[in-house]
Structure 1
Amino acid sequence: MTHIVSRLLQPNEYQLEVLEIIKKQGFDDQRIEYFGDWEIRNARFSLQMNKEITFLKCLLQQCDFSDLDTVAHSLYESNVIDSNFTKSRFRKSWFESCVFENTDFSDTKFVNCHFKKVVFKNVSFDHTDLSDSSFRNCDLSQINLDTTLMWGAHFIDCILSDRFLSFPGGKWQKGPNGEVFVVSNPER
């Protein structure tokens, strides 16, 4: 059963409107463009979410985003725990000041996505495509990226494991703000 609760002392007018929409239509109603200050548990987000959606200061726990195909989603100052993003596709999406814990991104494609100040704890990136995405001030030390495609990905001021630093095609380059670890595709 889906559980959604405002994290504010009193739900604001917009939150009350969103709750009413969810009761009638579910999470996939086209009028919902913003989730701010929510605790959302056991929710299924549809693969039909082709519009911009922003999550701000949310707790998303045991949520299912599998098979999602979306453009320009944003997730800010939020925690995502025990959730599933398998076989999803994100394009031009932003993830900032977030924690992903016990979350599965297997077979997911991130196209030109940006991660800033993101922590990944016990996260699966098996057969995930991170090509042309950028990571700044992220903690990637606890994840295995052996089967991850990363051509053109940039890692700036990130915490990386020693195993990660030996990734084929990866090298340190001088950037405008210091050293950048870049994974290059020799075929491009």
Structure 2
Amino acid sequence: AYGEGANVFGRVTNKSGFVPYAGDSFALLLPSKWNPSDEKEVDSIVLRYADNFDAVNNVYVIAQDTDKSSIQDYGSPEEFISQFGYLLGRQAWAGQTVSEGGFDANKVSSAALLGVATEKDKKGKTYYKFEILSRTADGNEGGRHQLVKATVSNGKLYLLKVQAGDKRWFKGTDKECLGVLDSFTVV
């Protein structure tokens, strides 16, 4: 038997490619082929999943205490992202380099802000959204697309970061990442 007839596990019931996840005060849709990951880039990560095909593609949610009552208390979206730029990774190497590949002198990485948006959910909660392309001099994956969405609720800053390698981004991973980003909601 071939095709659907050979499927011994039954018919596919979820054709969206996503599975719902409900965390403590937040919810999102996760790509169905991504798995839980124990890696923690920062201590305040409460959820992290990675693509089982390529771990460069991953998503995490941060929930950390804040004295702010709304995301606007951090300032404009640009002011907000400058305060949390460490989430994109910092250049760990320092020294003299010849500038090549479009990098500044003595730099081996760069980040470009491709998009900034502010949106409100159905209950009027404001979110800041960012699309960032970061590159390193090693040319690994041609860079990384990083999507960030953040808001404040009940004394906590909730920040979602979805990352995908540039080469996979253009092979369909963008749809998974944007699906996660757009589905992220906080109570």
Question: Scaled by the length of structure 1, what TM-score is found?
Answer: 0.23
Which entry has the higher C-alpha Rg, 1 or 2?
2
Higher strand proportion (structure 1 or 2)? 2
Q: Which has the higher contact order (CA 8 A, sep 6+)?
A: 2
Question: Scaled by the length of structure 2, what TM-score is found?
Answer: 0.23
